[in-house]
Amino acid sequence: IAAANPLVRLVQQANGGKWAASNTALRYIDTDYFIILDADSVLERDAIIWIMQPFIEPEIGAVSGIVEVGNSHNWLTSCQNLEYRVSQNIHRRAYEVFDGILVVPGAIGAWRTKAMIAAGLFSGETITEDADLTLAVHRAGFRVVMAENARAHTEAPEKVQSFMSQRLRWTLGMLQVSWKH
């Protein structure tokens, strides 16, 4: 369906990570804003409309959506569902008050193109490129805010080993980002 749409361009490259693919895609756009999603993200119907609203303010460099667990069907995924709801609906809102949002999540995030360029684009220097870029956008002088009605559903790890691997990656990545910035 998308291939038949003249507004859609398929760009292919060898696998170099999401950060490299995102930077490649940026070479093909000429828009003031863009949205990046994880492959396992499913947007709610009006998510794009909601996530674009904050860009009316020129100092906004990035907008975080809300990520919800889309596969909450066992004890582990149900716990993650609760965790996501608290961390994003309460913590992120609190961080926003102090212009301190640390991560525009890969599952749903919108970016002002000139803020991305000023921040140096995505980097492969850390394993949490979304957090790395979020801090770089802050350091480039832009604000990062949350759009609470822009929601995406993602697949949470269903087994303890996968969960632990994810959290280890997130923890090590945040340490890398902290050291870098």
Cβ-based neighbours of 170, under 8 Å, separated by 6 or more? 128
pLDDT for 169: 96
66-90, pLDDT tens digit by residue? 999 999 999 999 999 999 999 888 8
34-69, pLDDT tens digit by residue? 999 998 999 999 999 999 999 999 999 999 999 999
pLDDT for 12: 85
pLDDT for 5: 86
pLDDT for 181: 94
Mean pLDDT value across residues 119-134: 95
d(CA 96, CA 67): 16
d(CA 166, CA 42): 19
**Residue 148's pLDDT band (cuts 50, 70, 90):** very high
pLDDT for 1: 65
How many CB atoms are located within 10 Å of the residue 129 CB?
23
**Residue 11's pLDDT band (cuts 50, 70, 90):** confident
SS3 for the chain, per residue? Answer: CHHHCCCCCCCCCCCCCHHHHHHHHHCCCCCCEEEECCCCCEECCCHHHHHHHHHHCCCEEEEEEEEEECCCCCHHHHHHHHHHHHHHHHHHHHHHHCCCCCCCCCCCEEEEHHHHHHHCCCCCCCCCHHHHHHHHHHHCCCEEEEEEEEEEEECCCCCHHHHHHHHHHHHHHHHHHHHHC
Residue 3 clears pLDDT 90, i.e. is over it: no
User: What pTM was computed for the model?
Assistant: 0.91
